[in-house]
Chains A and B, each alone.
Chain A
Amino acid sequence: MSLIAVERIKLLSTRSPYWCMIAIVAASLLIALAIGLGDSGRQAIPYFALRGVGLGLSIYMVLAALAVTTEYRFSTVRSTFLAVPKRTNVLLAKTLLLAGIGAVVGFLCAIGAFFLTKLLAKDPPDPLVLQGQVWREVAGYGALFAIAAIIAVSVGTLLRQSAGAIALLLLWPLLVESLFTLIPKVGPKAGPWLPFTAGDRFITPTSVTDQFQDAVPQTGPTPVQGLLVFLATAVVLWLIAAFVLNKRDA
């Protein structure tokens, strides 16, 4: 527990986490605002209205990766290992803290974006009520943020430098996975099972009205399968990171 407190002090005694948080909230609310107001809210299904939270997830991964890479940049990681020589415990504490904060931030931003849309949308296609699969589409962001934090901490630990880690964490979901689907035959089949695309299924509605049929992906894993693929990726990466961290000279 005290190690988590240590990581909390370290995280909150620098400025960049606060700026990242502001950016996450802004992205979440601005997209919700646009969807809620645009076209009198006729596009306002949660899947669209919460896309800003998805953008926030990328920003949160940057925050989580920086929590590791700045330690390498300023060599505070060495001070850290002098204070706590059991490196796995350090990584675990950092991961738990960032996953925990991520769960809260993701959940709150999603709830906030949902209710902002509900407030603004005059003519939503379906009533915006938190029930059934809508709960999963909103609260699911909490789970995605937590898992994304594990991935980001692991990538930051493995790469040790900010630019590389951030580039990888942004390009992987935004570019690599979408380009993969362009590969003939294999792409469309395996593409939806790639970690971030699969994770996205957890906040995707399983049934939508015909109007949105083309815009909402329906193939690939079920929401729970998608979440498990995402989680498994995170756990594997984390184990590799923990192994490498212990082998490597600090």
Chain B
Amino acid sequence: MIEVSGLSKTFGDTRAVDQLSFVVRPGVVTGFLGPNGAGKSTTMRMILGLDNPTAGEALIDGQRYASLVRPLTKVGALLDANWVHPNRSARSHLRWMATSNGLPTTRVDEVLETVGLTAVAGKAVGKFSLGMKQRLGLAGAILGDPQVLLFDEPVNGLDPEGILWIRQFMQSLAAAGRTVFVSSHLLSEMAVTAQHLIVIGRGKLIADADTAEFIAQSTESTVRVRSPQLPALADLLGRNGIRVTAADGSLIVHSVPIEQVGDLAGAAGITLHELAGVQGSLEEAFMQLTGDSVEYGAHGFTTSGDPMLPTAPAGPPGPLPAAGPPPGYQPQSSPGFQPTAPNYTAPEGK
């Protein structure tokens, strides 16, 4: 368990981390989300005792990192896969780490086997690809079989295979009852990796919620209808005070439960070819929330402040799958959202 309370860090005039308080619990993967420069890495470095906080403190199982005895047996961290000497072999790198925490050398070979680097253990790390370095970093993190694990942007720059591998690896660690805290600026990645989210922007806490709950509350659910009598349907809904927008051969109905649309159409005898609930895209919700993190306070992830976007649904949120990526994440299933966030570009390419 990681407990952060009132954690702040000031670099000159910049408040990189501002009064951050949250708890990371064992047994689930907790995502640490925020745009680049939001203070994620700085927070992790303070948790791990690398940076001294300006105020507040971070405790791991009730203790400061600096006071842990044999810390690698309690906390494993992969903050940057490049924190290795390029001329040192993978085995030597892990060997000094093991020695420093009184772990047997046999443990080095075990973790090398776990991450699949046994064949290249004697090679200089400088010759490794990023994916291999990332695996070496993971090997270092699990070396002491710790209960608490921190990963900073672990999938950055990895190929799809590597991303999948790391994601499953983190989930298996959490499933074994460990505390897993992983940062990312990719919401879509977190949506499929983390069960709980801690969202920050400009160093401040924006949200601390279950991933599903966060998505439901911060994205707009809409209903897409296709019908041969589209003008009649638009007219009908308009007369009932429901806002609709047209989008290539279909209508996007805002802010009403899907049942109500079906009932109204049925009552008026309008034929429907499609009636589908659409979940707003995660990226968009993320932009809304972090775009002006001063305006949106710690619990203010209702979207009332943004004139560009309609308010969040007052009724029950749209159907949300219990697991797996929410449907709204696929860009093709949320066409109604593109006009509302014209300047947004997806961060996947980073």
Contacts and interface: CB of A to CB of B under 8 A. Distances in A.
> Do chains A and B stick together as partners?
yes
Interface of A: 2-3, 5-6, 9-10, 13-15, 70, 74-76, 78-86, 247, 249-250
Contacts, number: 77
B97 interface: yes
B85 A78 contact: no
Contact of A13 (B52, B66, B92): B92
The 5 A-B residue pairs with the shortest CB-CB distance in the complex, in nearest-first order: A13-B92, A249-B51, A9-B96, A83-B100, A85-B66
Overall SS of chain A's interface: helix
Nearest to A93: B100
B52 A249 contact: yes
B126 to A, nearest CB: 9
A80 B84 CA distance: 10
Contact of A14 (B45, B66, B79, B87): B87
B71 interface: yes
A10 B82 CA distance: 16
Contact of B50 (A3, A13, A249): A249
Given A85-B68, A250-B50, A5 B99 contact: yes
B77 interface: yes
Given A2-B100, A83-B97, A84-B100, A9 B50 contact: no
Contact of A6 (B77, B88, B96): B96
A81 to B, nearest CB: 6
Nearest to A79: B83
Given A10-B85, A10-B96, 18 more contacts: A9-B99, A13-B92, A13-B95, A13-B96, A15-B87, A76-B83, A78-B83, A79-B83, A81-B49, A81-B50, A82-B77, A83-B71, A83-B96, A83-B97, A85-B65, A85-B66, A85-B68, A250-B51
B99 A6 contact: yes
A14 B50 contact: no
Interface string B67-78: 110011000010
Interface of B: 45, 48-52, 65-68, 71-72, 77, 79-80, 82-89, 92-93, 95-97, 99-102, 140
A2 B96 CA distance: 10
A2 B102 contact: yes
30 contacts: A2-B99, A2-B102, A5-B99, A10-B96, A13-B89, A13-B93, A13-B96, A14-B85, A14-B87, A70-B85, A74-B83, A75-B80, A75-B82, A75-B83, A76-B83, A79-B83, A79-B84, A79-B97, A82-B48, A82-B71, A82-B77, A83-B96, A83-B100, A83-B101, A84-B100, A85-B66, A85-B71, A247-B52, A249-B50, A249-B52
Contacts of A78: 50, 79-80, 83
Contacts of A5: 99
Given A85-B49, A249-B52, A6 B84 contact: no
B92 A86 contact: no
